[in-house]
Each structure stands twice: as C-alpha cells, then as structure tokens.
Amino acid sequence: MDINDALSAFGALSQKTRLDVFRLLINAGPDGMTAGEVGEVLGVRQNTMSANLSILLQAGLVRNEREGRSIRYFADLDGTKDLLTFLMADCCGGHPELCAQVMETVVCREQPSIAGDYDV
C-alpha cells in the first residue's frame, strides 16, 4: 500500500457513518451483510448507505458480491491488513518488543459490538 492508498482509506473512515459501517462489517465476519441490513442497523437511508458503501469499496476497505437482486458487503480483510501494515511498517524504531504490545491489544478478542450501539 502506498501513501495515496492509505490516505484514501483514512479519508473513507474519517466520516462517522462510514466508520460505523466498516466496524459493523468487521463484526459481521465472513457472513457479511446486505446494504439494506447495514442501513437498517445503522438507521441510514438506502441512497445514503449506497454512497457510503461505494466510498469504502473504492478505498479497498470493503468488497461485495451480488446475491440475486441484492448485494452483500464484507469487510475486505486484505485491504485492512494492508492499511495496518502501512501504519506499523516502521513501528517502534527497530524495537519489535514494543510493537508486540500494540499487536496484543488489537488481536481478536471479545469487545463490545458496534451493533450493540444500535437497535438491531
């Protein structure tokens, strides 16, 4: 990932609804969610949700698959990995033990769900 890709990803995440969408799709895991489901959980109108999903898609943070007449969205874990790698590439000035502390914090563990912030 180059700096322009990183800036695109950060720009996409710099708006509350898009950050909520991304976190919700991360939480949904491999099942993903349709745009309608995401909009319903977050209380966002369909046209607004489509625009936000498009920005996240262009930034490489989500991917989609057509399912008949609907589209299912997923967090793009490769794009997310690339963004995190970009951030951590020069971590800790050659002291990997310091980076390990950061990584322990972000490893998959039980955390409050973004869906819990909304009426599901």
CATH class of 3-117: mainly alpha
Q: Domain ranges in the chain?
A: 3-117
Neighbours of 89 (CB within 10 A): 8
| Calpha distance 117→120 (Å, rounded) | 9
Q: Read off the tokens for 46.
A: 């369909």
89 Cβ contact list (under 8 Å, min separation 6): none
- How do residues 21-53 score in pLDDT, each as one tens digit? 999 999 999 999 999 999 999 999 999 999 999
Looking at the whole model, is its pTM more than 0.85? no
Band of the pLDDT at 63, cuts 50, 70, 90?
very high
